[in-house]
A = this chain, B = another copy of it.
Amino acid sequence: MSESRQKQVADYLDSLQRRLCATVEALDPARQFERDVWERASGSGAMSGRGVTAIIEGGAVMERGGVALSDIEGTSLPPAATDRHPQLAGRAYRAQGVSVVMHPRNPHAPTSHMNVRHFSAGDTWWFGGGFDLTPYLPYEEDIRAWHRAAAEACAPFAPGLYTHARAHCDEYFFLKHRAEARGVGGLFYDDLNELTPGIGMSWERCFSFMQQVGNAYVDAYGAILHRRAGAPSNDRERRYQLYRRGRYVEFNLVFDRGTLFGLQSGGRTDAILMSMPPQVEWSYRSPDSELDARLLPYLTSRRGENWLG
């Protein structure tokens, strides 16, 4: 992998993080992200890295949000990372990415998640990423706009890319023990390079797709926040949001591979768990069957619906 490619990715990820933080800060100038810059020398382990964890907490708009930039180098790829690339085990590697979770305060504004990443080991490289939306009080206008943004980000690339990434997202963000999707979906792709069956693309095209995904997320989520962050809301809606956030915790701690891999591999726990909502409630029964009746169809029977019409 040429250093120039890694440099291009690093520059884009840095600009993506800045743009994301600026978009949220513009909605609530009273509250800024705190940037926690970290560096880990290879020292004892075989892994070194640096990153910037940008966290906002207690804002009027963003109750808790994290935008984590990380750039990790290792001398020996762990076997857990190489299921699909057994020939790479033990090789030096570099993993670069930005990962985002946003928990707005207003229950009318959905939680969202985005991640883009680039992986290289010798001559081998691949990209992964995507974004998904988790509404509490669903608006079809938002859901349609979200999926339209996802489809448009994919459109300039391989023909099957959107269908693949949409389906992969629906499949991945699913709580088996609840038989519920985490949210209304979006995009999710992994292991994308020139060899990927059906949707393979050159490095340059894949990198361009990464940028489309990152930029589409900023625009699409920014627009939704703009519409919903100031909506009038009441205690009943807030209570429901806190209860539904429990599902987010359950997904991330029970199913999310990135979270579990991070926790198991001695990562920076509080940065990994920036995805946890700021306040959460659990109760034996849903506190609101009427609001369930509005939300749950989107997570069950209407899961996988085509929102592009």
Contact = CB atoms under 8 A, between A and B. Distances in A.
A280 B279 contact: yes
B246 A276 contact: yes
Contacts of A282: 64, 273, 276-278, 280
B285 A270 contact: yes
A263 interface: yes
Contacts of A249: 249, 253, 280
Given A253-B253, A254-B253, A263-B254, A284 B57 contact: yes
A302 interface: no
Interface in A235-284: 242, 246, 249-250, 253-254, 260, 263-264, 266-267, 269-274, 276-284
Contact of A55 (B36, B260, B266, B284): B284
A158 B47 CA distance: 47
B276 A279 contact: no
Contacts of A285: 270
A178 interface: yes
A274 B284 contact: yes
Residue from A177, A249, A273 having most chain B Cβ neighbours under 10 A: A177
A9 to B, nearest CB: 26
Nearest to A249: B249
Interface residues of A, number: 37
A270 B175 CA distance: 13
Nearest to A66: B284
Nearest to A272: B177
A77 to B, nearest CB: 22
B279 A177 contact: no
B253 A283 contact: no
A254 B260 contact: yes
A246 to B, nearest CB: 7
A249 B53 CA distance: 23
Interface in A61-79: 64, 66
Nearest to A284: B55
Contacts of A246: 276
Contacts of A250: 253, 273
21 contacts: A34-B284, A53-B284, A57-B283, A64-B282, A64-B283, A177-B263, A177-B272, A242-B279, A249-B249, A250-B273, A254-B254, A254-B260, A270-B284, A270-B285, A276-B282, A277-B282, A278-B282, A279-B280, A279-B281, A280-B280, A280-B281
The 6 A-B pairs with the shortest beta carbon distances in the complex, nearest first, are A253-B253, A276-B282, A177-B263, A55-B284, A280-B280, A177-B269
